Structure 1
Amino acid sequence: MAATRRNVLRGIGLSGLAVGGASLLAACGGDSGPATGSGATVKFGINEAEGSGPAYDRLKAIAAAYGKESDTEVKLNAVDHNTFQESINTYLQGTPDDVFTWFAGFRMAQFAEAGLISDVSDQWPIDGLNDSFKQAATAPDGKQYFVPVSYYPWALFYRKSIFEKNGWAPPESNNDFMELMKDMQGKGITPIAFGDKDGWPAMGTFDILNMRLNGFDYHMSLMAGEEKWDSDEVKGVFETWRTLLPYHQADPLGRTWQEAATSMGKGESGMYLLGTFVVDAIADQADDIDFFTFPELDSAIGADALDAPIDGFCVASAGKNQEAGKAMAKWLGSAAAADAGNAGADAPFIAANEGASTSSYNDLQKKSAEVVGAAANIAQFMDRDTNADFANTVMIPSIQAFLKDPDDIDGVTASIQEQAASIFG
């Protein structure tokens, strides 16, 4: 993540362990107390339900390690990912935990501007986190409100054994990609697994097609509301997507991303455009998973941009123990935190901290780090790069409307633009 030529976040300047499964909305900050040491308590809200898989296990391990190292009681409030996302505004305006999992990008900046998260600039610099990550942690006021822990690329994942069995190789061009999908169909395999029941996964398809067809700068300007959604460029994205839909699993709105991943795991689908967390749903096949980035669609644009979201932590401004929250947040960005999460983990967790050990990295993690490091431009994902209301209330239903009726591109884009004008002004 140290490449200075990469534009990581152009969009950012646009505006002892106690485990519990309580509802996010019921989370409450405790009385203010010492930051660390005997008698200290910090409340830690995470966006993974208890027992939900490797992501939960990693966060639990990180919390346990901090509790042991700092002699602090860490009260873990574990909530499933979608509930966490949907409840976050109510949560932060109520009585939130001291520290909580969140994302870099526009979404972090919005909370900073709204005064819902605390300035943690006094915790920076954090040893092992380079300037790219500091940039990702910085809001428009120039202060840091976020501590990165990991990142991951979105790409086309596949099972190596199935590719080898059928004599397939990762495509080097769009023509290769199309021929590969046709061959898969001819052999009774759905080329691309697809599930959008949760609303957000299909955003990744729009992102990559827009970056491949119109370029990274245009994509970020579009996310910022500076371009029109009923333009020929955006219509071209949906038109290209429409030509690819016959190669996707049908009826995606009735399928979760985990169910789509399982179809790839079973060999029913050949590939899946998703983040490396795809392995969380098919962890028993982790060693059989590989990936390639989406091929070039326009030689003038190239294929050097991709989504690679950065995950990390914020301190809630309404949290009762600010000192304890900031102390934990700083530690969460350390190599020790990353190593605690990765110890014995099979699923990908690519540490943001340059000092973290890579000895436990599997091949997928190593390749992910190399691919992201080589990318010229990094986007954070649609629902992180744009206004939260626009992403959730406009783009989710609009993309789903397109998936229901891919022939009504003019209607979908006109509706998006009308709503975008209202939200962005």
Structure 2
Amino acid sequence: MSSNEDRPAHGILRPGFDRRTLLKTLGVGAVGAAGIPLLAACTGGAAPGASASASTSLTFGSGSSDDVPKAAYKAVTDAFTAKSKIKVTTNVVPHNDFQNKIATYLQGSPDDAFTWFAGYRMQYYAGKGLLAPVDDVWEKVGANYSDAMKKASTGPDGKMYFVPNYNYPWGFFYRKSVWADKGYEVPTTFDALKTLCAKMKSDGLIPIEFTDKDGWPAMGTFDYINMRLNGYQFHMDLTAHKESWDQKKVSDVFDTWKALLPYQNPGALGMTWQDGAINMGKKKSGMFLLGSFVTQQYTDKTILDDIDFFPFPEIAMEGQDAVEAPIDGLLLSKKGGNNQGARDFLAFMGTPEGQDAYAKVDPSNIATAKGADTSAFSPLTKKCAETIANAKSISQFFDRDALPAMATNVMIPALQGFIKDGSIDVKNLESQAKALYAAQ
């Protein structure tokens, strides 16, 4: 796991502090920390404890701050308002700020509805009582979703909390024209991937475009190598801390990864994924391990039509059966649960009509509702959809499958240190994991 303003407590903005400045000065929030209402605070919805009532307006917090998804969600809110006559006020926050400050946001003055992720990272906040269940919404839209989508949308108490909008696979993306010119072939094994990397480097390319300024992109490489080496179930058990970090299986992941470090962009820690997409677009790099949202960066149809992808190669077990395919969608804050208009908005998002409105603007992702229009799918989108559909196991992404504090406070600095000098302390990872998971 993406990606767009803040106020101090009590909603009073002090002179000299704009919202963006304040965000930069505050540390990462955690559930249980002081409830400074970060991100866009807003009004709308009934008082806490009231039953959901009819409403003519709602507020929508969005971490989809890049131009394409931002415009896509505007298309959704416009379509919803045209149909329901309910006004939606959208508060867009930079993606990484939204993700890193979500705990304090939900404990402060959150929007009624907001963008978020399925799986453990949703379940965690549901378990803390910070979300409103939406079983009534699922009674209306449940038939539009697969059992896997329903499972990913269910909270620890068995209630429904999440309405999926789209998902997208992670894999290696590349420009077909570069590969055709150089005679490269898609690698299906890790040895073949290393051989290809060596050839690309000798051809003057950055073999693997790699960017980790924002901290989370490197998690995708860890996830894939772990699943390919140790299997999907081990990976999920590790992220849930049912397996320990200080064992050979985990050390083997990093030892295997070391073989790729010489082929990854040496400037990775100073680059965002958007920077990497620009490099690939300019044919400076051979491939880029990222989600299909990478194509949002290409407004030139010539480049867009030149993009292809392949799944992460096989290493030791389960072939390429496991796919990293995070699910994005909408949640209701606890306050938002009292606003019937917000519930209606989530129900609209769970229909083919709502998801088609989004997909017409952002075709890089794959609608999750049955009946959504697939007629305009590009060959690349069709391949992405088939990869997800054929997967035997689907992971959400480390920062969604693991405890939030483990992902943000432990894994990001650990991976960035590894990228910098190839060293990792798995005993330290286990020590921190023990403390964090025991405290939740």
Query: Do the two structures share a fold, i.e. TM-score over 0.5?
Result: yes
CA distance in 2 between counterparts of 1:201 and 1:83 reads 15
CA distance in 2 between counterparts of 1:87 and 1:247 reads 33
Structure 1 residue 222, shift from structure 2 partner: 0.3
Residues 1:378 and 1:197: Cα distance change in structure 2 (over 3 Å): same
Structure 1 unaligned regions, length at least 5: 1-19
The reply to whether residue 422 of structure 1 matches residue 438 of structure 2 is: no
Q: How does 1:217-366 map to 2 (within 5 A)?
A: 217-284=233-300, 285-298=303-316, 300-319=317-336, 321-343=338-360, 345=361, 347-366=363-382
Cα shift readout 1:136-186 (whole Å, capped 9, x = no counterpart) = 100121111000010000000001111111111212323322221111111
Pick the aligned partner of 1:376 from 392, 410, 417.
392
Corresponding residue of 1:152: 168
Pick the aligned partner of 1:185 from 198, 201, 206.
201
Q: Is the 8 A contact 2:240 2:403 kept in 1?
A: yes
Structure 1 runs of 4+ aligned residues shifted over 4 Å read 20-24, 33-37
Structure 1 residue 195, shift from structure 2 partner: 0.7
Q: SS of the residue aligned with 1:43? A: strand
Residues 1:35 and 1:318: Cα distance change in structure 2 (over 3 Å): closer
CA distance in 2 between counterparts of 1:158 and 1:365 reads 14
Q: Is the 8 A contact 1:93 1:318 kept in 2?
A: no
Moved more, 133-142 or 195-204: 133-142
CA distance in 1 between counterparts of 2:309 and 2:327 reads 19
CA distance in 2 between counterparts of 1:73 and 1:380 reads 32
CA distance in 1 between counterparts of 2:365 and 2:272 reads 22
Corresponding residue of 1:197: 213
Number of positions where the alignment pairs a residue of Structure 1 with one of Structure 2? 398
**Quick one: which amino acid aligns to residue 210 of structure 1?**
N
Corresponding residue of 1:17: none
Q: How does 1:133-172 map to 2 (within 5 A)?
A: 133-172=149-188
CA distance in 1 between counterparts of 2:421 and 2:322 reads 29
Structure 1 residue 341, shift from structure 2 partner: 1.1
Corresponding residue of 1:16: none
Structure 1 residue 311, shift from structure 2 partner: 0.4
CA distance in 1 between counterparts of 2:44 and 2:289 reads 42
**Quick one: which amino acid aligns to residue 329 of structure 1?**
L
Corresponding residue of 1:9: none
CA distance in 1 between counterparts of 2:362 and 2:344 reads 29
Corresponding residue of 1:30: 44
CA distance in 1 between counterparts of 2:355 and 2:378 reads 15
Q: Is the 8 A contact 2:63 2:92 kept in 1?
A: yes
TM-score, normalised via structure 2 length: 0.87
Q: Is the 8 A contact 1:95 1:319 kept in 2?
A: no
**Quick one: which amino acid aligns to residue 227 of structure 1?**
E
Corresponding residue of 1:93: 107
**Quick one: which amino acid aligns to residue 101 of structure 1?**
T
Q: Is the 8 A contact 1:346 1:362 kept in 2?
A: no
Residues 1:138 and 1:31: Cα distance change in structure 2 (over 3 Å): closer
Q: SS of the residue aligned with 1:124? A: helix
CA distance in 1 between counterparts of 2:5 and 2:406 reads 30
CA distance in 2 between counterparts of 1:375 and 1:355 reads 20
Residues 1:320 and 1:354: Cα distance change in structure 2 (over 3 Å): closer
Q: Is the 8 A contact 2:46 2:53 kept in 1?
A: no
Structure 1 residue 366, shift from structure 2 partner: 1.1
Residues 1:31 and 1:376: Cα distance change in structure 2 (over 3 Å): closer
| Identical aligned residues as a percent | 44
Structure 1 residue 30, shift from structure 2 partner: 2.1
Moved more, 118-127 or 106-115: 118-127
CA distance in 1 between counterparts of 2:288 and 2:332 reads 34
Q: Is the 8 A contact 2:213 2:269 kept in 1?
A: yes
Structure 1 residue 302, shift from structure 2 partner: 1.8
CA distance in 2 between counterparts of 1:301 and 1:348 reads 27
Q: SS of the residue aligned with 1:277? A: helix
CA distance in 2 between counterparts of 1:364 and 1:234 reads 33
CA distance in 2 between counterparts of 1:174 and 1:141 reads 41
CA distance in 1 between counterparts of 2:199 and 2:352 reads 45
CA distance in 2 between counterparts of 1:26 and 1:119 reads 22
Q: SS of the residue aligned with 1:393? A: helix
Corresponding residue of 1:55: 69
Q: Is the 8 A contact 2:52 2:337 kept in 1?
A: no
**Quick one: which amino acid aligns to residue 73 of structure 2?**
L
Structure 1 residue 36, shift from structure 2 partner: 9.6
**Quick one: which amino acid aligns to residue 308 of structure 2?**
D
Corresponding residue of 2:23: none
Cα shift readout 1:17-69 (whole Å, capped 9, x = no counterpart) = xxx977562421225399898x70011111123xx321111111111110111
Q: Is the 8 A contact 1:283 1:347 kept in 2?
A: no
Q: How does 1:125-140 map to 2 (within 5 A)?
A: 125=139, 126=141, 127-140=143-156
